[in-house]
Structure formats: structure tokens, C-alpha cells
Chain A
Amino acid sequence: MTLFVTDEEMALLLYDIQDLYGYDFNAYAKASLKRRINRLFALDRFPSFAEFRFRLRTDTAYFGRFIEQITVNVTEMFRDPAFYLALRKEVLPLLATYPFIRVWHAGCSTGEEVYSMAILLREANLLHKSILYATDINPQVVQQAASGVFSMQHMKQYSENYILSGGRHDFSSYYTAGNNKVLFDVSFKKHMVFSTHNLAAESSFNEFQLIVCRNVLIYFEKELQARVFDLFDTSLERLGFLALGSKESLRLSPANAKFRQVSEQKIWRKVI
């Protein structure tokens, strides 16, 4: 049987990490977090928990790897095409009335959803007056997102997603390919700002018309979810939109009273 990190050991690790690096994972959903920690523990073949802990305490570079591996970075372009179709049809026409559009991708991971949004905005002829702020707790993925470089191997599926999302152009016209990688149109970057931001600890940094935070909150406990919803509430203009993952909901949070779900998709509008 594989060696597993116990609850007590995980509590020790989380304490160390908060103490030494200032990252607080204590309000993360434990079952999932423990699975990620066990996965890393097995992946890096530590002979004992003590060595795992020692490495984390003493090797800052290894802590970087810990953040990379513990956070979930599974994402794709136009993931859940029906969601992007709803954005095109139900949200962008309303955003079009603003002189300037600010979008926040909270938990942007490697940037696939940010580029998807940029494509939507360009096709709606709104990108010229938009800025997309893309943040993640993990500096490594933020850097990757900012590069605008993606692996070639997923482009076929992304192209299919794009078409299902209502896209009418040739998806490959948005990037240039080479060496099994693709580089997205660099003019998109003029409208993107990338930065690290920790939803569990940091405050609001702007006011937005649209906040997109999909499949991030499921990794948090209910109390932290509620805190992040408050953060989104203070970061949204009145009548701004909040978009969540397909299995996430505002329903159980106190902030729910200020929002109304405006789509079959997980899109809410701040009404107060």
C-alpha cells in the first residue's frame, strides 16, 4: 500500500507553509487538497514524510513546485462551449453599451479562458475598448499564460469547442503554428494584464463589469467561498456579471441576495 500523508502531517505542512511562505491553504477543501499533497508526495518519491517536510521548509524552489502541483491547472479554450455561447448572446451585447470594459479572470491558470474571452470580444468588435485582467495564485502559470504560447496538440479540440460556442471564423487564423506550439495573435496581449493574486488572502484591486472564476471555488471550503464571493461583490460594478464553473453556485453564499442568475449557464448579475 502506498505511503500516505496523514491529516496531522498535512496540518503541519500547512502550518509551515503559512509560517515560512505566507500562503494560507487552511481554508481549502481538505479531501481534495490532501489528494493533491499525496499525489506530489508519491510523484517525487519521498521516502518519508519527514523528508518531504524538510524539503518544503528548506528549499524555496521546491515550494514553487509545490504551488504548481497542488493547485489544479486543468483548463481548455472555450471549455463548456454552451457557456461561451451564452456570453456571446446574453452578456456581450450588454457590455457593449459601456465605454470601457474591464474583465477579471480570477484563477486564470495557463490562460486558455483568457484567450477565449479575447476572441469573443474581438468578434463582438469590443476588444479595442476592453482590458482583461488575468490572475492566479501560481506565478508559473501566470508567466505561461502571459507568453501567449500554447501546445499544438489541443488545437483541434479547441477549434471544435470554438465552433460549438458560436464561432464563425477559422480558429487557426488566431494563431501561428510551429514546433508543436502555437503563438496567439500578439495584438491580443495589448488588452491583457497578467499578475499573481491570491483569492484566499488579497483584496480587490479594481472594479469590473465581468468577473470570470470557473472551477476555482470548488477547491475552497464554504467559508472561504463566501469570503471570495464578497471580494467579487466589492470588485463588481452594479449590474456587473459574475461567471462561475458549471457545477459552482452563489446559492449557498450570503452574497447571493445581491445577485440574480441571468442565464441557464452559471452567470449572475449584481442587481444591488
Chain B
Amino acid sequence: MAKSDLSNIPGCVVIGGSAGSLKVILSLVTALDARLPFPVVIVLHRKNDASSLEHLLNDRCPLRVKEAEDKEDLAPGTVYLAPPDYHLLIESDHSLSLDASEKVLWSRPSIDVTFQSAAEAFGHHVLAILLSGANNDGASGLEYIRHHGGQIIVQDPDNAEIPVMPRAALARLRPDLLLPDYAMAAAINHFL
């Protein structure tokens, strides 16, 4: 990957994933650099079970991983997980809000909702990453991020366990980078 492909140091990294992306997220957070100077927000479609994902990620990630809490401030070097069954929004003061309203594209949390609010809150200082999945969530959120000048990475459909979600995004825009799963963490770490 050419380092110059992503030039803007992000204020926030947002990652959206659905079916087939848990493995990618696990290896991604394991390889993140502990010194990252920005927060990472992960929206993963999942069952409403106990928050074992938080522990699973925390055991591997050099950064602190926590489930996003309503009205908490985003802190650099922290990984936030959208809780199951709530939308996660980023406010303009860079705090987090939860929202239990209707599902969007049959999803709650919705990747689109978080991506849109990230674009509103961080403008062009957003790096958004869309991973494997079986639906169309994330595509319109990425468009919104693009509209605000943010940077976009999409998982290469050939490398995705379920390519529907990356393909839906690629049908609507050209990402700054199209990457396989194993190159994602390096793309984030290269801002150091």
C-alpha cells in the first residue's frame, strides 16, 4: 500500500462490519498500535447477547476496548463498540449518544447511522472502513463521508467472506483504498 493514499490524519476511525467481519475485526484490533492518537468506533451487526465481544476484543487489543456508553466523550487511543440493539451516534462535541429508534435496513446498530454522524461531527477528519457483510448497510454512510471529504477504505470483495456489503458500497463510490483484511490494521497504524 502506498502511504500517500491516505494523507489526512483522522480525528476518528469508524469501522462497519456485518456477516463475516468478526474475524477481520479480531485480527485488526490485535494489530493496532497502542499509541494511536484517535478513537476507533466499531459498529458490528450482532446478536443481542451478553457483551462478551468487548472482552474478546479487549484480550487481544493493545488499546482499551469498551462498549460505547451514552453521553461519554470519545477519548483518543480507545476502541468503542456499538452496543447491540442501539444505534450509536457521534455528537458534534465528540461525545456519544445511543438511540433505540427503528432499525435502518433491518439493522440496529446501523452502520449508516454511525457513519453519517461521524461525518457531521468530524467532517473530513474521518477514516471509514467497511468490511464483509450480507446487506447494503454502510454504503450510503460512506457516500455521506465522501461528501464531507473523509477517507474511505473498503474490504476487497474478493477477500471478504461475504462480499455483498463491500460490493454495494463499490457500486456507489470508489474508495481511497480497496484492501484485503490483513492490510487494514497497517492502514490505520501508518498515521503514527
A and B are interacting partners: yes
Name A residues whose Cβ lies closer than 8 Å to a Cβ of B.
1, 7, 29-32, 34-36, 72, 74, 215, 217-219, 221-222, 225, 245, 247-249, 252
Sample (13) of A-B pairs whose CB atoms are under 8 Å apart: A1-B143, A29-B71, A31-B89, A31-B117, A31-B120, A32-B97, A35-B116, A218-B97, A218-B100, A219-B97, A247-B69, A247-B83, A249-B69
* Best-buried of B70, B89, B90, B117 by chain A (most CB within 10 Å): B70
B106–chain A nearest beta-carbon distance, Å:
14
B78–chain A nearest beta-carbon distance, Å:
17
B113 cross-chain contacts in A, Cβ below 8 A: 35
A35→B89 contact, CB < 8 A: yes
| 78-103 of chain B: CB within 8 A of chain A | 83, 86-87, 89-92, 95, 97-102
A1 cross-chain contacts in B, Cβ below 8 A: 143-144, 147
B43 within 8 A of A: no
A36→B98 contact, CB < 8 A: no
A222 cross-chain contacts in B, Cβ below 8 A: 71, 95
A214–chain B nearest beta-carbon distance, Å:
9
A225 with B71, Cβ < 8 A, contacts A31-B90, A35-B117 known: yes
Closest to B96 in A: A31
B189–chain A nearest beta-carbon distance, Å:
28
B102→A32 contact, CB < 8 A: no
* CB-based closest 5 A-B pairs: A31-B89, A29-B97, A72-B101, A215-B100, A31-B117
A72 with B100, Cβ < 8 A, contacts A1-B143, A30-B91, A31-B121 known: yes
A152–chain B nearest beta-carbon distance, Å:
20
A160–chain B nearest beta-carbon distance, Å:
13
